[in-house]
Amino acid sequence: VIQHMAATMRGAVRLILAVIAGAYAGAANFELSSQPCADPYSEFAIVVDGGSTGSRLFVFNVTYSDGPVVVSSMQGPKAKPGLSTFVGEITETRVTTYLMSLFSEARKLIPQPFQKATRVYIKATAGMRLTCEENQQRTYDQIYEGLTAHPDFAFHLEREDVGTISGDSEGHYAALSVNYLAGRVAGDLSDTGGLSQLGPLGALDMGGGSSQIVFEPPQPKSAAKTRGEPEGGRLSVDRFWGHSYLGYGVDQIRIKLWSYLVTEHKAQARRLIRAAKLEEEKEEEDEDEDEAPRKKEEEGAPLVHNPCGFRGQVQHWEAVDLQGTGDAAECAILLRRIVFGPECELEPHDMESLGGPITVDPAVEGPAVVGGLAKHKRHTPAPGAPEVVRPPCPMDDRVPPQTKGVEFYAMSVYFYALHGAFTMVREALDASGKGDADVEAALARWPQPSLRDLRTVVGAFCGVDWPSLTDLPKHRYTARDQLSHRCVEVNWIVELLGSGFGIPEDARSVTFALEVADMEVEWTLGFVLSSVSKMDKVRSCRVGDAYNVSEEDNATSVAPELTSLAQAAAVVSEALT
């Protein structure tokens, strides 16, 4: 594992050195083959992740040597909004301009001699999966035609490499990524020893539109040695169970929550008006029931309590003001009711056994507060009590296998949202000068907290009043417009892990990560890893063959001052080898 991580670091350094000195080395030092090169090869590849809220460009470098294949990456720029915003455009002008802002920056990351042969993959995810197939293909045609016709587009793009990847593929690529970065497999997905000794890691990914889970279900050790392992010991997606839950990303869940609160408010308003009419026996009894709520709303937006908003925060949705109460426990119950149904509404702490939830009488436990929801007492297991493993609640009519004992890496919004919560709770505690032993203990367990730790921190986070929260230093992974949604997002993460995926309450089996071994944890890396074998078939065909660079071209195209940098880079690269 240590050797693998060292090789990964060497690959990353080589990538930087290539950017510094590649123009000279690429133009001057390629040995031309005696055979014509029909498919010129570049050790670079570009993958554009077309997400729900924006597109990000990644540059990858595949290094071949006598040892394992090493894949290193360099994150490029990001553009907003998401690709799905351009669906329905009449011409390709806007989407081309949007993407060229990424590729203009990519030209600075890849040495010029490699650019023409560097293949580009533009792959959209949940945002585009939510649109119809016809609109997707029309947009992709516009992307391909616009980029390939643009005079400043310097790379190699095929129409087949522009499209939507399935949610299941996105999850599987994420799993390949985490197992490579953790050193369990090499760049060609062969076992480094970690796979056979520890088994594969699972992956959890989340965006605005969807959520993915991929892992190898627990099984007898005898079966684990052979299941899904092809000849040669390479990690195969056949070992994994995985599913992409479209519509279960943070943006989609927030919209469901807000719409539910507004609908419940309007229904309750109509009920109150009908009751008032019956009680007072007024002549207006036959007035249209929908008209009175509209008249009231004209006087000013009604105020509806939102337990999934920060305390004191007001958000406007469908002519209604949602006022945050910062009640994370109530938010959790509400999310479970909306997403999973009444049978999963009670807290996980209220599960006595696998037999089902405890029946709680609202009249005993406390009054109803929002939408008829009752507050429930939090049940903390007694010291030494056996761990409760609860069955997951169904989503998309799919229930994952048992996750107990599985190690996961959680990426993307999982990391961004929870890192923000942990950071800002720490800052809020420091600013207040007040200590909280439970919160302090939970904060100390990042980046591998248990679900119980997450509930503690999320409760403290949503309970910070909105003005105080906005006064804290800006979180590096949270824009101001994203901050207003973070309370519902972190609550949803906790409920998805617990109620949706069945992660045990006290297990510290999920690591929330942005980077491992100085590389970002992203499905795009797994996509490249799965393509290494295809790249290997043409790697003997060097870029220099395609360009047929002459000595005269070298003398005129390479700046003299770059020579010393190229020589220095060669010395450092040799030393690393």
Query: How many Å is the maximal CA-CA distance in the chain?
Result: 99
Which string of b and e fits 64-89 if b means at least 16 CB within 10 Å? Answer: beeebbbbbbbebeebeebbbbbbee
DSSP 187: T
Q: Is 183 left (phi over 0), alpha (psi -120 to 50) or beta?
A: left
Cα–Cα dist 115/46, whole Å:
10
What per-residue string of b and e applies to 310-335 under the rule 16 or more CB within 10 Å gives b?
bbebebebeebebbbbbbbbbbbbbb
Residue 368: helix, strand or coil by DSSP?
strand
Give the chain's length. Answer: 577
Phi, psi of 48 (to 5 degrees): -105, 120
Q: Rounded to the nearest 10 degrees, what angle do helices 451-462 and 486-495 cross at?
A: 160
- Name every residue whose Cβ is closer than 8 Å to that of residue 390 and which is 6 or more positions away in sequence: 348, 351, 354, 498, 499, 502
Q: Are 17 and 572 in contact (CB under 8 A)?
A: yes
| Long-range CB contacts (within 8 A, 24+) of 224-228 | 224/199, 225/196
Contact predicate 522/411, CB 8 Å: yes
- Tell me whether residue 211 is annotated as binding: yes
Buried b (16+ CB within 10 A) or exposed e, 440-464: eebbebbbebbbbbbbbbbbbbbbb
For 216-319, strand residue ranges (E) read 241-246, 303-306, 314-317
177 is in an annotated binding site: no
* Of 48, 148, 131, 134, nearest in space to 85 by CA: 131
* Amino acid (1-letter code) at residue 199: G
Check whether 208 is labelled as a binding-site residue.
yes
Could you give the C-alpha distances from 51 to 122, 124, 157, 369, in angstroms and in order?
Answer: 11, 6, 19, 37
Q: At what angle do helices 328-339 and 250-280 cross, to 10 degrees?
A: 90
Q: How far apart are CA 201 and CA 206, in angstroms?
A: 17
Cβ atoms 538, 38 nearer than 8 A: no
Whether 287 is catalytic: no
DSSP SS3 for 163: strand
Q: How far is CA 525 from the centre of its chain?
A: 13
> What's the CA gap between 121 and 32, in Å, rounded?
27
Which one from 43, 170, 216, 347 is the annotated catalytic residue? 170
Q: Reduce the secondary structure of 51-79 to three states and give it as a string.
A: CCCCEEEEEEEEECCCCCCEEEEEEEEEE
Q: List residues forming the annotated binding site.
A: 208-212
Q: List residues forming the annotated binding site for ATP.
A: 208-212
Q: Which residues are catalytic?
A: 170
